């Protein structure tokens, strides 16, 4: 598999990273920008230079290379094996349980009761967490779903996808430190997690119980490539993902979301994101909450 890109050959100026322990030229950064854009849709602006430097340096050390040019050449020559570690390095994974709680309130009070009425014959519910990171979002969805359904025999499933294989492994394991659980209600902790005590609260470990984990399937997925699932989904969470995409890529992605959502299905996006001027296939039904209308 070849990216069709060529690693930098000249030591172009314009960046002040050439005197660091692992020199990075302007052309090195442009190569990384192009590869990220073409393979993931992620737009790495100039303000991301420091972040990219600090993250790629870890790969350079691991591979025992000397410069960013060396790494770009290595990536060009070993795309099949290095592309996944490269993607893992450049992606940002900031998340928390019940982050942006109004989405889960809407899911509990409005979306799920409506879906249960609409799907009364099939008893089927499908929800997709696109960009699931380390799993806090899909587990929050699963808790909301279980609390809504109670003991009713519904065929309910959650698909959790991400580019980063490391965070997917974390999500599958379902083990979180005590500092990540500090804001959760004790009832939720007792019902859905098993506690392993450490020397202090920060050393505590919480394991998601099997009944919750069984609702979720964690899979690696590049949102820009072909999707293996058919849907339809009743709800899609895609929060704080498209902020890294160009407007053109956003339009394409939201059009695909509309295609795979059930009629009147819901889309939840991030607090700094909007469909205004991007898609006419949804109507706003709340803060960063949308319903498919066409």
Where do the domains of the chain lie?
26-90, 101-174+210-292
In the prediction, which pLDDT does 182 show? 81
Confidence tier at 8 by pLDDT (50, 70, 90): low
In the predicted model, what is the mean pLDDT of the chain?
Answer: 90
Which CATH number applies to 101-174+210-292? 3.40.50.150
Q: Give which of 224, 221, 220 is closest to 254, Cα–Cα.
A: 224
In the prediction, which pLDDT does 12 show? 42
In the prediction, which pLDDT does 10 show? 44
- How do residues 134-162 score in pLDDT, each as one tens digit? 999 999 999 999 999 988 999 999 999 99
> Looking up tokens 């979306």, which residue turns up?
111
pTM to 2 decimals? 0.83
Higher pLDDT, 13 or 281: 281
DSSP-assigned beta bridge partners for residue 175: 207
Confidence tier at 93 by pLDDT (50, 70, 90): confident
CB 209 within 8 A of CB 197: no
Same fold? 26-90, 101-174+210-292: no
- Tell me the H-state helices in 133-217: 136-149, 165-173, 186-192, 210-213
Q: Identify whether 55 is a catalytic site residue.
A: yes
Higher pLDDT, 80 or 284: 284
> Looking up tokens 């399937």, which residue turns up?
217
In the prediction, which pLDDT does 14 show? 47
In the prediction, which pLDDT does 22 show? 86
CB 112 within 8 A of CB 103: no
Burial profile 113-131: b = 16 or more Cβ within 10 angstroms, e = fewer: eebbeebeeeeebbbbbbb
From CA 141, how far away is CA 52, in angstroms rounded? Answer: 31
Res 171 pLDDT > 90: yes
Higher pLDDT, 276 or 202: 276
Confidence tier at 2 by pLDDT (50, 70, 90): very low
For the chain, report the end-to-end CA distance as a whole number of angstroms.
37
Average pLDDT over residues 209-238: 96
From CA 217, how far away is CA 212, in angstroms rounded? Answer: 11
Based on its alpha-carbon atoms, the radius of gyration of the chain, rounded to whole angstroms, reads 21
Q: Helices 49-62 & 26-40, crossing angle to 10 degrees?
A: 90
Q: Helices 26-40 & 79-90, crossing angle to 10 degrees?
A: 100
Q: Which token pair is 33?
A: 């920008």
Confidence tier at 175 by pLDDT (50, 70, 90): very high
Res 9 pLDDT > 80: no
In the prediction, which pLDDT does 1 show? 41
Q: Which fold has domain 26-90?
A: Chemotaxis Receptor Methyltransferase Cher; domain 1 (1.10.155)
In the prediction, which pLDDT does 288 show? 96
Residue 266 host element (H or E): strand 261-269
In the prediction, which pLDDT does 7 show? 54
In the prediction, which pLDDT does 92 show? 73
Of 30, 37, 55, 124, which residue is the catalytic one? 55
The beta strand positions in 146-232, using DSSP E, are: 155-162, 175-177, 193-196, 205-208, 216-220
Q: Identify whether 59 is a catalytic site residue.
A: no
C-alpha dist (Å) from residue 51 to 44, 83, 211, 258, 273: 10, 18, 38, 33, 22
Res 36 pLDDT > 80: yes
In the prediction, which pLDDT does 6 show? 54
């Amino acid at each position: 598999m070849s990216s069709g890109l060529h690693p930098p050959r000249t030591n172009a100026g314009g960046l002040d990273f050439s005197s660091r322990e692992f020199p990075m030229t302007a052309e090195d950064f442009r190569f990384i920008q192009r590869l990220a854009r073409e393979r993931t849709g992620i737009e790495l602006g100039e303000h991301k230079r420091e972040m990219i430097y600090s993250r790629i340096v870890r790969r350079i050390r691991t591979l025992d290379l000397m410069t960013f040019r060396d790494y770009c050449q290595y990536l060009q020559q070993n795309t099949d094996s290095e592309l996944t570690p490269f993607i893992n390095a450049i992606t940002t994974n900031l998340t928390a349980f019940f982050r942006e709680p109004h989405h889960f309130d809407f899911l509990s009070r409005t979306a799920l009761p409506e879906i249960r009425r609409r799907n009364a014959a099939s008893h089927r519910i499908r929800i997709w967490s696109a960009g699931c990171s380390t799993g806090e979002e899909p587990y929050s969805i699963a808790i909301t779903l279980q609390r809504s359904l109670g003991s009713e025999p519904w065929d309910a499933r959650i698909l959790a996808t991400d580019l980063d294989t490391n965070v997917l492994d974390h999500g599958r394991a379902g083990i979180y430190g005590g500092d990540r659980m500090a804001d959760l209600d004790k009832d939720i902790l007792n019902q859905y997690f098993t506690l392993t005590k450490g020397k202090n609260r920060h050393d505590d470990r919480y394991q998601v119980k099997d009944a919750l984990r069984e609702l979720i399937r964690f899979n690696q997925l590049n949102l820009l490539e072909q999707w293996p699932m058919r849907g339809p989904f009743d709800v899609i969470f895609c929060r704080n993902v498209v902020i890294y995409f160009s407007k053109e890529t956003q339009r394409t992605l939201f059009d695909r979301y509309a295609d795979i959502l059930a009629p009147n299905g819901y889309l939840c996006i991030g607090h700094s994101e909007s469909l205004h001027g991007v898609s006419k296939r949804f109507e706003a039904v709340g803060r960063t909450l949308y319903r498919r209308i066409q």
